Amino acid sequence: MLSERRLQVLRAIVQDYVGTEEPVGSKALTERHNLGVSPATVRNDMAALEDEGFIAQPHTSAGRIPTDKGYRLFVDKLAGVKPMSPPERRAIQNFLDGAVDLDDVVARTVRLLAQLTRQVAVVQYPSLTRSTVRHVELLSLAPARVMLVLITDTGRVEQRMVDCPAPFGEASLADLRARLNSRVAGRRFSDVPTLVEDLPEAFDLEDRGTVSAVLSTLLETLVEENEERLMIGGTANLTRFGHDFPLTIRPVLEALEEHVVLLKLLGEAGDSGMTVRIGHENAYEGLNSTSVVSVGYGSGGEAVAKLGVVGPTRMDYPGTMGAVRAVARYVGQILAES
């Protein structure tokens, strides 16, 4: 086990490196943090930390930089979450309060997170699978064409066209609409399939085909996982990434365009509490030199989606975590209100 002082040395190294972006040496350390010991002692500690794999030297006779393992220890044991200041909290709330609809909430959240953390922000739309149905609307657009509109409790709206096997009268449509809503309104998505199972039986033979078509479209919409959308912002912050630009930034930009990858990444993160994935802990190769800080958010007690930021492993973890947590909290509130 590492002694208390060695942990302090590691913490100091992480803090300095995050600030300066340059390998930090023993002398600079003792000057900037009063560790109460001499550079020579610190050197011994650093050698030990290097043996354990927490820090590394880019080349002989340069300072040390933290490894992914070093950041991990820092995040787990050495760093708290830096809370937002009251003015910041107010600013967050004010900014989010101005949103007019769900798209706007998500867009504002992305912007806010990117500004607060000065990194790339990723916000997942409130997921369908954990939501409940608020209303299902059916519109007859043509004799054999119905539009299905699904409205969720998080304010999300999905629409689908249904081609009917046979013409479907307005009366039948109204009937189906009423029956459908009385069964599924307010229910969780996962319960819907069993709730509508026997619905076609209530209709005339000639209408059953259409009813089934509508229902299967509805079920499709409910499970369709590619509808897990997300919004991204703050990519300009990638330019602050480092000196060795093109090589580092390119795979990150590619990863950010692969929403599927990001969704998977967010999905893997723990369901409750904040998750920090550092460097190679990210399964996706393009993000091996980045850290992802993510957390679930939702209306009420339950998380319905995730949000987070992507930044260089060399990031201000306490500050980033504080911002992510605060934003998630306020977005949850906004969603609960609307």
Partner DNA sequence: GCCTGGCACTCTGTCCGCCCGAGTGCCAGC
Partner DNA sequence: GCTGGCACTCGGGCGGACAGAGTGCCAGGC
Tell me: does residue 126 bind a copy of itself (CB under 8 A): no
Residues 48-107 that bind a copy of itself (CB under 8 A): 100-101, 103
Give the distance from CA 55 to its chain's centroid.
Answer: 29
Select the binding partner of residue 253 from DNA, a copy of itself, none (C-beta < 5 to 8 A, by kind).
a copy of itself
Cβ neighbors of 81 (< 8 A, separation 6 or more) are 274, 318, 321, 322, 325
Task: Count other C-beta atoms under 10 Å from residue 12's C-beta.
Answer: 19
Q: What is the DSSP string of 196-210?
A: HTTGGGGS-HHHHHH
Local structure of 282: helix, strand or coil:
coil
What is d(CA 159, CA 106) in angstroms, rounded to the nearest whole number?
Answer: 19
| Residue 180 contacts a copy of itself per CB under 8 A | no
Please list every residue from 198 through 237 that binds a copy of itself, using CB under 8 A: 229, 233-236
Compute φ and ψ for 80, nearest 5 degrees: -90, -175
In whole angstroms, how close is the CB of 234 to a copy of itself at the nearest point?
7
In angstroms, give the least distance from the CB of 135 to a copy of itself.
5
Q: 225 is in the binding site of which of DNA, a copy of itself, none (Cβ under 5 to 8 A by kind)?
A: none
- 62 vs 178 by CB, closer to a copy of itself: 178
Does the footprint of a copy of itself cover residue 175 (CB under 8 A)? no
Contact residue for a copy of itself among 38, 44, 159, 190 (CB under 8 A): 159
Considering CB under 8 A, how many residues would be counted as binding a copy of itself? 32
The item of a copy of itself, DNA, none sharing an interface with residue 197, based on CB under 5 to 8 Å by kind, is none
Q: Is 33 in the site for DNA (CB under 7 A)?
A: no
CB of 25 to DNA, least distance (A): 3
Would you count residue 94 as binding DNA (CB under 7 A)? no
Under rule CB under 7 A, residue 85 binds DNA: no
Q: Which residues contact 56 (CB under 8 A, 6 or more apart)?
A: 50, 64, 65, 66, 67
* Largest CA-CA distance found in the chain, in angstroms, rounded: 90
Asked whether 101 and 314 are in contact (CB, 8 A), the reply is: no
Q: Taking the CA atoms of 91, 96, 100 and 103 in sequence, report the sign of the dihedral they define.
A: positive
What burial class does residue 141 get, using C-beta atoms within 10 Å of its C-beta: 0-12 exposed, 13-18 middle, 19+ buried? exposed
Helix (H, G, I), strand (E, B) or coil at 284: coil
* Residue number with CB closer to DNA (57 or 159): 57
Choose the stretch contacting a copy of itself; rule: CB under 8 A; options: 70-78, 91-99, 246-254, 297-305. 246-254
- Residues that bind DNA in the complex, under the rule CB under 7 A: 5, 23-28, 36-41, 43-44, 46-47, 50, 57, 59-64
- Residues that bind a copy of itself in the complex, under the rule CB under 8 A: 100-101, 103, 134-135, 137, 139, 141, 147, 149, 151, 155, 157, 159-161, 229, 233-236, 238-239, 245-246, 249-250, 253-254, 256-257, 338
